[in-house]
Amino acid sequence: MTKRTLLVLAIGIACHGLGCSEARCESAAEIFARGQSQVAAGNLDDGLKTLAAAVAADPINEEYTARFERLRKAVALRKQLDTEEDAAQWTQIARALHLFYHREKLYEAALEIDRQLHKRLQAAVSATLLAQTLMAMDRNAEAAETLQEIPEDQRELGSQSSLVIALARAGKMKKAAKLAKEIPVPEHLCPGKAYMLARMNAAIGDEPAAASLLKQAFSVAPAPKLPAFKAAALRCPELAALLEKDEYKELLDTQSLVIAAPDHDHDHVGGHCATCPSQARVDDIAVKSDKDCEGCDGECDGECKKE
């Protein structure tokens, strides 16, 4: 065996598992990009393994580590959902996964979760979450139908403003504008409510009102939550179109006037917060540990049993 052959074999063995072949090793950036592509395709398990390889290849890269940890938690929470017996915890996990899947644009996965949630709750909040996913999939008529099925005594700002958007996207602009005028607007607007109303007004073409409400949402959002509000606005088709216009671009420079969020906000216990960027993320939920596991947060699937 020649020295060249031995060298090629040594490189292949050293790089095994990190995306290497006999010809060359992938860089950490290439491994990370491959993992991102797998996640975008909905292959979360393989994406997680590939991102783990990217972190191993470049352990000081904070972006790779943060991305891996968030995905690891989402995958773990999705598995936990299948066995979670506590109803409140199940709902919290489902809503966090809804937001995660939306941010990843994995709408089929979100739809599966949202249908399960709505079957359990049959409430305005679950209908609104389901409608949000249907709208993201350009199934606007279905979204409107889902929201119109909410009993009248359960309808609230989040569901009604979402219905306006669904109707507008379905081409029923006159009906959407009429409904928007009928929705009672509370005197006090938390950032989430201001954001919802901004989306609604943008959908019916009232740009000045949408811009004013969006600026209000940004300015009264607690500073730690402001990036989430701005990111959500850029993901919303109507608000993104608004923010592309020269006269409204400066809205993204709006700074928060609130240093920190209150310990408890009574405005965020109702169904209307289904569309609020402040809702819990997968990062905010603790993954349940296997009671038989020691120090691994349940990641071993029960393999590291206590003796």
Distances in Å between the Cα of 23 and the Cα atoms of 8, 20, 32 are 7, 8, 19
What residues contact 2, with CB distance under 8 A and at least 6 apart? none
**Of the candidate ranges 47-51, 200-204, 267-271, the one whose mean pLDDT is the lowest:** 267-271
> Which band of pLDDT confidence, cut at 50, 70 and 90, is reported for residue 284?
confident
CATH 1.25.40 range(s) for the chain read 85-284
Q: Give me the mean pLDDT over the 3-20 stretch.
A: 40
Q: Which of 96-100, 169-173, 278-282, 300-304 has the lowest mean pLDDT?
A: 300-304
Write down the pLDDT at residue 304. Answer: 37
Which pTM was predicted? 0.81
Instruction: Please give the share of the chain, as a percent, with pLDDT higher than 90.
Output: 72
119/187: higher pLDDT: 119
- Average of per-residue pLDDT across 182-190: 90
Q: Which one is the CATH code of 85-284: 3.30.70, 1.25.40, 1.10.287, 1.10.1330?
A: 1.25.40
> pLDDT (tens digit, 9 = 90+) per residue, 119-178?
999 999 999 999 999 999 999 999 999 999 999 999 999 999 999 999 999 999 999 999
Q: What is the pLDDT of residues 221-233, one digit of tens each?
A: 999 999 999 999 9
- Give the pLDDT of residue 275: 67
Give residue 285's pLDDT band: very low, low, confident or very high (50, 70, 90). Answer: confident
**Each residue's pLDDT tens digit, 246-263:** 999 999 999 999 876 554
70-115: pLDDT as tens digits: 999 999 999 999 999 999 999 999 999 999 999 999 999 999 999 9
Q: Per-residue pLDDT averaged across 174-197, rounded?
A: 93
Closest CA to 216 of 236, 200, 193, 234: 193
